[in-house]
Amino acid sequence: HRAAERNEIETVKFLILKGANIESVDGDKHTILHNAARWGANEVIEYLIELKVEIDAQNPRGETALHLAVRTDRIATVKLLISKRANIASVDILKNTILHNAA
């Protein structure tokens, strides 16, 4: 997860090659994609999507990678996720949409 946050694409590729689970979650129940989106690690995001990671996976608060990218003002990441068909209508457990997070 740390390599994904830091956009260390070669490290991420190596770890996946060695068997790392691309759908694994950390202590906060964030996927690798969640963490990459939160930190704007777009190279890692592109790679994970190529590997068919679940783009709309939700954490326990119902947030997707797109929610986190919007909340952390990662505009390029938001555009990337939307271009890759992330669900823009997704709601979290408080019924907040992506637009709520953008406000």
Q: Which of helix, strand or coil describes residue 2?
A: helix
pLDDT band, very low/low/confident/very high, at 95 (cuts 50, 70, 90): very high
Tell me the residue type at 80.
L
Backbone angles phi, psi at 41, to 5 degrees: -85, 75
So where are the chain's domains?
2-102
Residue 4 has pLDDT above 80, yes or no: yes
- How is residue 43 annotated by DSSP? H
pLDDT band, very low/low/confident/very high, at 102 (cuts 50, 70, 90): confident
Q: What is the pLDDT of residues 20-41, one digit of tens each?
A: 999 999 999 999 999 999 999 9
Look at the alpha carbons of 8, 3, 70, 54 in this order and tell me if their dihedral is positive or negative: positive
Instruction: Answer yes or no: are the C-beta atoms of 45 and 82 closer than 8 Å.
Output: no
Say if domain 2-102 classifies as CATH 1.25.40.20: yes
